[in-house]
Amino acid sequence: MAIYGLTLALSCITYGIIIGFYGFVYSNFEPWMLITIFIIPLYAFIPYTIFAVPLQILLRKKVKKFSVQYLLIYIVVALIALFLFSLASDPSYVLSEVKHVSFYYLSFVAAAVYWFWDSVFIKNQIK
């Protein structure tokens, strides 16, 4: 169980750093945007806990390290999760949000980060 918690914690922190720096650059280097590096991991914790951890437990039944198939599964689940959270927050805005590149960027980064840390710990578990 500790590996799931460690994967979750490192994924939240890594996701926060990546998205925080992306926001910092995207905002023309506004210093206050660096605060998001510390805020985003808190928001990422909930969807990762609801969607990624159960999926990780399910995928761990057949252990494959750095599997592209697992990455694709994580991406699809991340897209669904982001869509559902967007739908819950503002149903009228969801269809226009899906048209933006940032919707897919956020999903891909969330999936790739979790997949990476999961694969690192699978690799260490196999040895």
35-43: Cβ within 8 A, 24+ apart: 40/15, 40/16, 41/12, 41/13, 41/15, 41/16, 42/12
* Confidence at residue 89, expressed as pLDDT on a 0 to 100 scale: 85
**Per-residue pLDDT tens digits for 49-102:** 999 999 999 998 887 889 999 999 999 999 999 999 888 888 888 878 888 888
Q: Is the per-residue pLDDT at 126 higher than 60?
A: no
Work out the angle between the directed axes of helices 101-126 and 68-89 (0-180°, nearest 10).
Answer: 140
Q: 0.75 cut: is pTM over it?
A: yes
